Amino acid sequence: MNIQVLMLKQDDPKKCTAAKLVKFGLAKDIKKTTRKSLILDPFSEKTLLKKDHSLINSITAIDCSWNLADQTFIQKFQGISRKLPPLFAGNPVNYSKINKLTTVEALCGALFILGYDSQALELLDKFKWGHTFFELNENLLNDFKKIKAESEISFLLKEYNIPLESL
């Protein structure tokens, strides 16, 4: 799957996971999004499901600061906007917080749900803490892959004792 990042350069460049992916040739730095790209948007009305695979030709992450995310996503990016189902951060800054993912974690979550497990693991391998994200979410990700409709997500969250407000 083609991986793209639109980097807004709002965070510390030394900690920017998107920049590291671009540096290693695992993602392409873009200036604008396209209509057949999955746009990872934490404020989207729709949640990413495996069936969305047929709608897209790439995954685009908007790399921005969490402190500015609500302002950033007011603008609509061209593409197919989806949020990830609730996942736990494995990064050292937001460890185990729900939905406080780095760009690489968001991309990997999307890749896993869409069935690109080996590509997701390849991205995570570039980070010392990458395995932590996978370990915290492995069962969840495997279960999210099986979901056919958004209405099933709340039942799954109840099984994992994850608050429904996380949606």
Report how far residue 66's alpha carbon sits from residue 44's, in angstroms, rounded to the nearest whole number.
15
How many domains in the chain? 1
Residue numbers of the domain that contains 13? 2-166
- For residue 22, what are its two tokens? 């671009």
Confidence (pLDDT) at 27: 97
Q: Could you say which residues of the chain have pLDDT below 50?
A: none
3-state helix, strand, coil in the chain (%, to 5): 45, 15, 40
Report how far residue 21's alpha carbon sits from residue 74's, in angstroms, rounded to the nearest whole number.
26
Confidence (pLDDT) at 7: 87
Confidence (pLDDT) at 67: 77
141 alpha carbon, distance to own chain's centre: 12
Report how far residue 15's alpha carbon sits from residue 112's, in angstroms, rounded to the nearest whole number.
23
- For residue 31, what are its two tokens? 């200036």
Confidence (pLDDT) at 35: 94
pLDDT digits (tens, 9 = 90+) for 93-116: 999 999 999 999 999 999 999 999
